[in-house]
Structure 1
Amino acid sequence: MAIIKLSAIERRRLSAFITCLVVAILAWVFTALSNPYKFTVKQIISFKNAPQKRAFHPLQSDTVNTIVQGSGWQMLFSRMNDDKKVIEVDLHTLENRNYVVLSSQLKQINFKKQINNEIIAVNPDTLFFDFSSRRVKKVPVKLITLLKYQKQFAQSAPVSIKPAFVTISGPAEILSKIDSWETDSVVLNGLNESYNARVKLRPSTEGNLEVLPKSVMVNIPVDEFTEKTLEIPVKLINNHNYYDVKIFPQKVKVTFTTSLTKYPDTNEDVFEAVADLDKWKLGGYSVLPVKLTHIPSYSKIVKVEPRNIDFIVKK
């Protein structure tokens, strides 16, 4: 392989040439990017001053293409910046017509934009709206959660949401499809104590739908759970012919989990265990299965001993 050997003078000349070439390219790029350009930027529409007496529904997408005039640097940074760009559209003219002309609002739109990054046109330039009578409806709040508890901890009582209902107002045809309103997701890991916080409601995706309030107070009771065993008397049901029936044993041992707070007050009165005599009369069973029909809320049954009981029928 041939190797070109350069003298010290030739190396200095080559180095000077490369340096001048790089400087020339950088100067050309700098000059090119300093020139004014027109370029397209997709932006999200945000509405303000919505009419209070008219419910509206946009007939087009919530994004528009804006023609922006700015330097090459601004165009470059616009391409590199992935942040959502928003333009604010004033809807006060919808009080007496069903469209908004964006070109008539460019001055106030640009007032909130960068001075050298001016919007000169919007496509589409006119936004059209469909109108209907405004209605008001109350719907329950639906809490969205993804909860993971620490070992031996769990929810110990019903979740409290205040207020439990929100008021939504908008077109009747949209309100008829809404039965509840969701919160933002509450995601918690290793939960070992009660959760109390203000949670935001999910924003409306409809520009003409208003939801009040915007947030609710949420309480999720959490407690440590432990096992407890009680002897529960078995109640005989469906003894239609009033047979004289003796059951053995008359009580079953029920092992269950309960919160430490409720542990002292949880007794056999909050349980009900039954044996169905129809299992023998109609099904021919030789033993009767025991079924728990009442258990404390938020408790879990670990085991029941025995699961079946013997019986004697005296006709």
Structure 2
Amino acid sequence: MTAKKALKGATKRKVKVFVILLICSFGAWLISQLSETYTERITFELSFINAPDSLLLMNASEKEITLSVRGSGWQFLSSRFTSGKLPIDLSKVSYGGQGYFLPNQDYRDQIAAALPENMTVVQMGDDTLFLNFSRLVSKKIPVHPNVGIQLAQNYLLDGPLKLVPDSVVLTGPEQELDTLERIYTEQTELTEIDDSFTRTLKLVQPESLTNTRFDVQEIQLSAEVFRFSEKIFEVTVEVINLPEGTQIRTFPNSVEVLCKARLEVLKDLTAADFRAIADLEDVQENSAFLPVHLVEQPEGIPSSQLLQDRVEFILKRE
């Protein structure tokens, strides 16, 4: 029994020694192979950087490049773990009869400099890199709030909605911006509003603006809301464009104006603060009614309206 155990232990030691020798042998062979110099064809994706601020790159004559590259096995092994992209600096782009291009020597130098250290370019195409740019413009566009507001009963907005900022500066290709007239906010519904409010709204970028940048992505929408009181004023109807040598009587000779505002504002108002006119030239043929329009009201009144918009009339010769 002891002899069998000794034999089995000796066999295991021999296997271990064999495996260690095999690994060492393979390692020595691998190191030898990786130390050799090789030439391979490798395809890289071109990544364009540092385009002039006034230009937007739309397309390039080459999006990838295949090179014959010389380097050691170690270098090729390590390069397998890179992104496979070569950055091309466009800050020195030139303009010629065929458009924008990157001078061939600068193009080659950049590619060579972007490769891992001690790797050299053996062969690459001699084609010039042509670039299709669109000139960038900036345009200030007003913002339109896509907002529905339902006020609570007996409440009004005190003045228009306020947007900050009320416009956005867009920078992009001229063909994308030349017909653009406004930018909308995201759609928002506000209901039962009974107090002043502020909301942050995102701007909606139209699908057509694929290459356009916004200087802001959202705006602040705010409004003043107040509880109103009502008061009715009797305003005398003033007739204009009355033919010379005629007189006119209207029935009634005054109209009611319903005014909605803060109570402290209503207290200081009188009928003389309003003006209602009836233009005789607005009368339709064979009609006995004269249209009435409210043409003057105090500034800062949120709401005022005629409760009747026409009166009967009789014309008499003097």
TM-score normalised to the size of structure 1?
Answer: 0.54
Structure 1 segments, 4+ long, off by >6 Å, are: 47-51, 89-92
Distance 1:249 1:301 in 2: 17
Q: CA deviation at 1:133?
A: 0.5
Report if aligned partners of 1:51, 1:94 keep a CA contact under 8 Å in 2. yes
Q: State the partner residue of 1:244.
A: 247
Structure 1 residues 242-270: Cα deviation after superposition (integer angstroms, max 9, x where no partner):
52334454322223433546433554355
Distance 1:277 1:187, change over 3 A: closer
Aligned counterpart in structure 2 of residue 301 of structure 1, from 292, 299, 305: 305
Distance 1:232 1:261 in 2: 21
Q: State the partner residue of 2:274.
A: 271
Aligned counterpart in structure 2 of residue 170 of structure 1, from 145, 167, 172: 172
Q: CA deviation at 1:155?
A: 2.1
Distance 1:214 1:182 in 2: 11
Distance 1:230 1:50 in 2: 68
The aligned amino acid for 1:157 is G
Structure 1 residues 188-233: Cα deviation after superposition (integer angstroms, max 9, x where no partner):
2211112224433234654521111333332222222332100111
The unaligned stretches of length 5 or more in structure 1 are 1-46, 60-88, 99-128
The aligned amino acid for 1:55 is L
What SS does the corresponding residue of 2:292 show, helix, strand or coil? strand
Matches within 5 A, 1:10-159: 52-57=53-58, 131-159=133-161
RMSD: 3.9
Q: State the partner residue of 2:11.
A: none
Aligned length, in residue pairs: 210
Q: CA deviation at 1:149?
A: 1.6
Report if aligned partners of 2:146, 2:184 keep a CA contact under 8 Å in 1. yes
Q: State the partner residue of 1:283.
A: 285
Q: State the partner residue of 1:208.
A: 211
Work out the percentage of aligned pairs sharing the same amino acid.
23
Distance 1:171 1:289, change over 3 A: closer
Structure 1 residues 101-120: Cα deviation after superposition (integer angstroms, max 9, x where no partner):
xxxxxxxxxxxxxxxxxxxx
Q: CA deviation at 1:138?
A: 0.9
Q: Tell which structure's C-alpha radius of gyration is larger.
A: 2
Distance 1:204 1:178 in 2: 10
Q: State the partner residue of 1:230.
A: 233
Report if aligned partners of 1:223, 1:260 keep a CA contact under 8 Å in 2. no
The aligned amino acid for 1:257 is K
Distance 2:49 2:192 in 1: 42
Matches within 5 A, 1:247-266: 247-260=250-263, 262-266=265-269
